[in-house]
Structure 1
C-alpha cells in the first residue's frame, strides 16, 4: 500500500471513529455537555499518557510554545463544548457538517495569525462554504434550529483556530501525542468544577456510552495523526468528509433522522467548495513537481 493510500485509509478510519463518538454522545442521553466532555477527554488523556510513556516522549513543548498549546487547548475545548451541544440538539449529520467548517476557518485564521497568503480560489471557496452553511442554519424568526446551529458553527470556528495552533506547534517540532495530552488534560481541568458541583447522576448504560465516546474519540485523534504522517493534508483532507456519510447513516439507522433537502443542499455546497480547494491544491503541487 502506498503512503497516500495509507493516509486515505487512516483518515477514513478517523472519520468513522468521530462519527461513532457523535452517535455515542447522543445515545448517552440527557446529561450536561460539560459532563459528557469530561468523560470524553478523560479517556483521551489516559490513552495519550500511555503513548507518551510507551514512545518515551518528553513532557515539555519547548521554549515559546506554551502559549500556542494553551490557545490550542482553549479553543479546542470551546469547539468541543459547542459540538457536543449541537450533537444533542441537531440532526447528527447537521452537527458534524457544521464542525467540518473548521478547515475554512483555519484558512481565515492562518491569514490573520500566521500571515499566510490566501489565494483567490481559497477566498471563493470560503465564501461558497458559508453560503452552504446558511442552508443548514436556516436563519429566520421563530426557527428553533437556528440557535443550536449557530452554536455548532461556533464549534467549527473554535476547531479552526485550534487546528491553526496545531500547525504552528507541529512546525516547531512538538509531538502529536503531547499536543493531544495537553488538550485532554486542559479540558478535564476546565470541566472538573462543573462535573463536581453540577453532577448529573448517570445510569450504567449512560456511563458506558460516554466511555465508548471517549474510546471512539481517542481512536479518531490518533488515526488522523497517523493519516497526516503518511500523506500531506492537500492529498487526503477531502476524505475527512466521509464522516458526514457515516453520521447520516447512524442518524437514519439508530435515531430515525432523515436530513431535509435544505440540509442536503448545504452539504453538497460545502463539500463542493472543499473538493474544489482539494483539486486546486493538487494541481498546484503537480506544477511545482514538474
Structure 2
C-alpha cells in the first residue's frame, strides 16, 4: 500500500501542479486496476483539487482515497443512475466546480460507466479532461509477444453473457484475423474458454489478476483453454484480460496474384471493406480472411496506381 503521509501529495503537487486545471471541468481519472502503487501523481493531484469525486461505488472509492490520505465529497454515478447523476455533475460544473470521475478500477468509460457522463458534459458545452493510468489491455499486450511489426488490435471488451449470443460473437472473431482483446469476469471465464476452444490452434494469451499479488500470464492454443482452467480451480478466480492472437496465414494464402489484387483495389474504391472482400472472394476464389487482412492494409495505405 502506498504511503499516506503528506509527502506523496506534496510530490504530486510539485510535479503536476504547473499544468492548468480549470474550474468547471470534468476530469476522467484512471485508477489502479489492483495494485494501489499504480496511481499516477497527476491523478492524485487532480483528486486533491476536485470539489467532488463522482464514482461508481462510494464505498470502494472512499477506501481508495483514504489509502492516499484524501477525503472528498463523493457522488454515486454508476450504470443504473448515470443519466440522472450526470445532470447533477453538469450543474456542479456550471457552478464552477471541479468534478473528478473514477470507476472502481482502470479507465472510466472503457467497459465501465462514464461514457454517458462525458456525452452529457460535452452536450452542455463543458470540458472533459482525461487522466490516463493503469490498463489491463496495454499491460497484457506488452507481454503477449505478438511481434511481426503490426501493432493493430481490436478491443472487443466483454462478449455477450448469454451463451447463444456469445458463440455468435466468437464465430465473428474466427472470421477476423486481427489481434483482439477481450475482458471477462470470473463467473463467466469457464464458459468463454469453452466457446473460444473452437478457434483451435489460434494462440491466446490469458492475463489473470493483472498487477495484483496472484498475477498470472499464460499463453496457449485456444483449444487448450478449457483444460488449463480445469487443471487448477484457482485459475478461475479474479478478473481476466485475454488476447486472441492474429490468425496464422496459411502457406497457400500468402501470395495473391496481381489480377486478384487489382480486383480488390477496384472494389475498395467503391465499396465498404467487408462488402469489397466478399465480392472479391466470390469473383476470384481467394481466401476471405487473407483478402480482409490485405484490404485493411490497403485502406490504411492505398496502393499506387
Q: Same fold (TM over 0.5)?
A: no
Higher helix share: 1
TM-score, L = length of structure 2: 0.21
Higher strand share: 2
Q: Which has the higher contact order (CA 8 A, sep 6+)?
A: 1
TM-score, L = length of structure 1: 0.22
